[in-house]
Structure 1
Amino acid sequence: MHTVWKGAISFGLVHVPVKMFSATEDKDISLRMLHKTCGSPINYIRRCPNCDVETDWDDIVKGYEYDKGRFVLFEKEELEQLAGEKSRTIQILDFVALEEIDPIYFQKTYYLSPDQAGGNAYHLLLKAMSDSGRIGIAKVSIRSKSSLAAIRVIDNCLAMETIYYPDEIRSISQVPGLPEAVNVNEKELTMAKLLIEQLSTPFEPEKYSDDYRDNMIELINRKVAGEDIRVAPQQEQTNVIDLMAALQASLEAAKLPPKGAGLDTGAAAKPAATADGDIPQAGIADAAAESGGETALPKPRKPRSPAKSKAPKETVS
């Protein structure tokens, strides 16, 4: 398991170093968003609509919109200071009976294991809570979010369940269309209770399965076996694009004579072979640009004598 958090459980004067692991995993089948025309995956780009540029993570800050289009900004350090030192502590405030907590409060479950030399304190807390039948109500900060939590025993392990704050639970009165109190037929009520009794059984989670996921896996396998697939087209290599840009830059550079060389601009536009039969770099660029090929540029030779004018330097990015 991957450690998602490290800190300590604190109750009274007892300090128990622990590591946290996710107790559950999402097994939903993830489907990609594709372009229907060619089958390529769709990219989601962080882009500033005002500056019309893509934004790096280093250029992104968090902000709160207190009015339409008006924000207050927060630096990472400011948010970390709000959490303070307690961000690494699961501080138990009270011990209560588990049956007093409605399941609507529960969010996500984590396993806790002893960290460093905290094994004795860990087992002491586990044994004390197991014998008392109580669970601890604590405060904890995970990823800069403060949560209430319930610390309880599962088999031979301490577990933490994040739970909602009371003001995060919506009132039943907000639910529309709830039936008003009506008179219930006694015979129908008796039959309903009898049916519930007949369907009552001990909870065995292993007998339940995700039918949708099983059916989705079966459908995927059938499509793969029947080759009902779409292959995304290969993207052009960036070095080809860069090469064409370099060729174009070389061509443009060849049209302009070096400063002070005194060459005729008309002659420079159409390069000819040199005395020793070598073709200038601009000639290679012309040939590559006309053919659309990916001709590599040879390194320019050094001039044979200082008297000859130097050819313009070519930069290949």
Structure 2
Amino acid sequence: MHTVWKGAISFGLVHVPVKMFTATEDKDVHLRQIHKACGTPISYAKSCPHCDRAVEWEEITKGYEYEKGRFVLFDEQELEAVKPENTRTIQILDFVALEEIDPMFYQKTYYLSPDQAGAGAYGLLLEAMRQSGRIGIAKIAIRSKSSLAAIRCVDNCICMETMFYPDEIRAISGVPGLPQNQSVNERELDMAKLLIEQLSAPFEAAKYTDDYRTSLLEAINRKVAGQGLDVVTAPAAERTNVIDLMSALQASLAAVKTGDASAGGDATGRGAGRTSAIRGDTGAADATAADKPKRSRAKTSPAGAAAAGGEAAGPSGPAAPSRRRKTTEPKP
């Protein structure tokens, strides 16, 4: 299991170092949205409808909409200032009876294990809660969110259930259509109670399964095995950063030679010919090589550099190889 939090349980003067692990996992079968025309998964880019363009992460801040269309903004420093001070302690406030807590309060379950030299204190708290029949009600901050939590024993492990605060639970009075002072037929009530008695059984979690997930996985496996029209392969993403080094070098050399012929009195080929090659007059390969000079230099072998220098030396004289080596050899 992956450790999601490290800290300590604190009650009274007792301090129990612990590590936290997620006790549950999502086993839903997640289906992605696919473009029918080409089989490519749909991506969700962050964009601004007002500016009509994509927005980079560094351009994004956070805000609270206090009125329709009006926001108060916060930067990271301001949000840090209002975070709970103690983010590494599970502070137990009270010990209560488990049956006093309605399951509606529970959110997510975590396992806690002893950390460092805390095995003795961990075992003490575990046994004390087990024998007293009580569970701890605590406060904890996880990922900057403050939560209530129930600390209880499950077998030989201390578990933590994050809980909703009371004001996060909606009032039942807001539910429409609830029966008010409805009379019940006594014979029907007796039959309903008899049916409940016949269906009563000890709770065995293993016998309850997700039938939908099982059926969906079976349907997926049938489609994969059949390899019919319903199975598509997404087209490979275009790798724009891959340079055909040989083509780029050949095109650049050709551009240098062409520039020598059109440069007039510049016999060294250092003027228009070189500028033409850098600006990409010979095609996309030159532009790509110019855009990523470090990548093309790093991939040039000593032999390739020598060959490039040798060809350039013909029309340009002895000065050309020196300039070519500067642009093709990798920087130290």
1:292 corresponds in structure 2 to: none
Distance 1:314 1:115, change over 3 A: closer
Name the CA distance, whole Å, in 2 between partners of 1:27 and 1:314.
54
| Aligned position for 2:197 | 197
Separation in 2, partners of 1:73, 1:182:
51
Q: In the alignment, which of 317, 323, 326 is matched to residue 304 of structure 1?
A: 317
The answer to which structure, 1 or 2, has the higher relative contact order (CA under 8 A, 6+ apart) is 1
Structure-2 change in CA distance of 1:305 and 1:109 (3 Å): closer
Q: Which residue of 1 aligns with 2:122?
A: 122
Gaps of 5+ in 1: 265-270, 272-279, 290-295
After superposition, what is the alpha-carbon deviation per residue over 1:189-238, rounded to whole angstroms, capped at 9, x for unaligned?
A: 10100000000000000011000010011000100111031111223321
SS in 2 for 1:218: helix
Aligned to 1:86, the other structure's residue is in SS state coil
Once the two structures are superposed, residues 151-204 of structure 1 have per-residue CA deviations (whole angstroms, 9 ceiling, x without a partner) of: 001111100001111111111111112223222111111010000000000000
Q: Which deviates more from structure 2 when the two are superposed, residues 72-81 or residues 33-42?
A: 72-81
For residues 189 and 145 of structure 1, do their structure 2 counterparts lie closer, same or farther at Cα, with a shift above 3 Å needed? Answer: same
1:77 and 1:288 mapped to 2: Cα distance?
A: 45
CA contact (8 A) 2:64 2:72 kept: yes
Q: In the TM superposition, what whole-angstrom CA distance separates every residue of 1:1-49 from its partner, at most 9, and x where no partner exists? A: 0001111111111111111000101001111111011110111112334
Which residue matches 2:177? 177
Query: Does the CA contact (< 8 Å) of 1:79 and 1:144 recur in 2?
Result: no
* Corresponding pairs, count: 287
**Cross-structure match for 2:38:** 38
Aligned residue number for residue 277 of structure 1: none
Against the structure 1 CA distance between its residues 262 and 153, is the aligned structure 2 distance closer, same or farther, given a 3 Å change threshold? Answer: same
Partner residue in 1 for 2:234: 232
Give SS of 2:162's match: strand
The answer to whether the Cα contact below 8 Å between 2:252 and 2:282 also exists between their aligned partners in 1 is no
Does structure 1 retain, via aligned residues, the 8 Å contact 2:84–2:141?
no
Q: Secondary structure at the match of 1:221?
A: helix
Aligned to 1:82: 82
* TM-score, length basis structure 2: 0.75
Q: Give the superposition deviation at 1:67.
A: 2.8
Determine the structure 1 residue equivalent to 2:134: 134
Equivalent runs, 1:50-199 vs 2, <5 Å: 50-199=50-199
Percent of aligned pairs sharing the same letter = 65
Tell me the CA shift for residue 62 of structure 1.
Answer: 2.1
Q: 2:181, 2:129 → 1: CA distance? A: 42
More helix by share: 2
| RMSD (CA atoms) | 3.7
Instruction: Please report the TM-score for the alignment, with normalisation by the length of structure 1.
Output: 0.78
**How do residues 203-218 of structure 1 correspond to structure 2 at under 5 angstroms?**
203-218=203-218
Q: What corresponds to 2:14 in structure 1?
A: 14
Equivalents in 1 of 2:64, 2:235: separation in Å? 41
Shift of 1:288: 8.4
Q: 1:172 to 1:128 in 2, by over 3 A?
A: same
